[in-house]
Structure 1
């Protein structure tokens, strides 16, 4: 089991109304459901998005891959069209948060015939457990992919302590 739990994403959209039109939102929902099944029901929790922005938040929610080895967890987030300076990664109270903004290259959509690309801010959070060394997390950004390396704390195996027997 990895030391990572999804805190926000699309878990609450599992509710009653089916989602049509965007197959990626369905994949995101299924991914969050899978993460929830791995870490338990309390692992996924969607943050309510105010003012009807949930659809836009879904489209801008970065797609995440998580790979685990014996000594670290690697989290890769796809951020196409996002500049490195517009991405922020932080850890506070055991919660890793990726925030950013995809900015439009045009100031206005005047004269547009079709606009399918989405723009705006995004946020994705993960709860880290005690097996992650939060002081040594590293991040790199190349070709629109953010890669976070989360090293694990070296396991300290308890050694038996010799107790002198006095007579």
Structure 2
């Protein structure tokens, strides 16, 4: 087991499929979108917007890969469309937290026919165990991927101690 334990998901996943919700509600939403675009139904458009906001909460949870080596753990988070300045990484009381926000390029959705991209804030937290050196964690951000390197504390191998025998 790595030196991480996720606080908002399963304990350990190597690969997972994205969670998009109930497929029948997605079909219904798509049908409403088509009907609304043909007849200009405002009610269907507002329902679509509400469903889209609910789906955005699910979709904005960044996908994380965790790899462990002998001397460190590497955590990679996919953050497409997120600017480096909009990402914050912190450690408090043994919990590593990644927060951020994906901002919309447009100020309003006025005149939008279809909006499938998700916008909003996200947060992922991981409990660190004692093997992680929290004072030396490093982070880099390039091409929408945040890479955290969590060095492990050097193992203290017990040395035999010579005890003098008197008598």
In which range does the TM-score fall when normalised by the shorter chain?
A: 0.7 to 0.9
Task: Determine the C-alpha separation between the residues in 2 that align with 1:82 and 1:144.
Answer: 6
1:24 maps to which of 13, 18, 33: 18
Residues 48-127 of structure 1 aligned to structure 2 (within 5 Å): 55-127=55-127
Where does structure 1 differ by over 3 angstroms across 4 or more consecutive aligned residues? 52-55
- Unmatched tracts of structure 2, length 5 or more: 11-16, 21-50
Task: Determine the C-alpha separation between the residues in 1 that align with 2:104 and 2:157.
Answer: 52
Q: 1:54 to 1:137 in 2, by over 3 A?
A: farther
Please state how far the C-alpha of 1:24 moved relative to its aligned partner.
Answer: 1.5
Residues 5-20 of structure 1 aligned to structure 2 (within 5 Å): 5-9=5-9
Residues 124-139 of structure 1 aligned to structure 2 (within 5 Å): 124-139=124-139
Q: 1:6 to 1:54 in 2, by over 3 A?
A: farther
Task: Determine the C-alpha separation between the residues in 2 that align with 1:111 and 1:56.
Answer: 20
Task: Determine the C-alpha separation between the residues in 2 that align with 1:55 and 1:115.
Answer: 12
- Unmatched tracts of structure 1, length 5 or more: 12-22, 27-51
Pair member with larger Rg: 2
1:114-134: CA deviation from partner (whole Å, max 9, x where unpaired): 111010000000000000000
Query: How many pairs does the alignment contain?
Result: 130
Partner SS, residue 107 of structure 1: coil
What is the TM-score of this pair, normalised by structure 2? Answer: 0.74
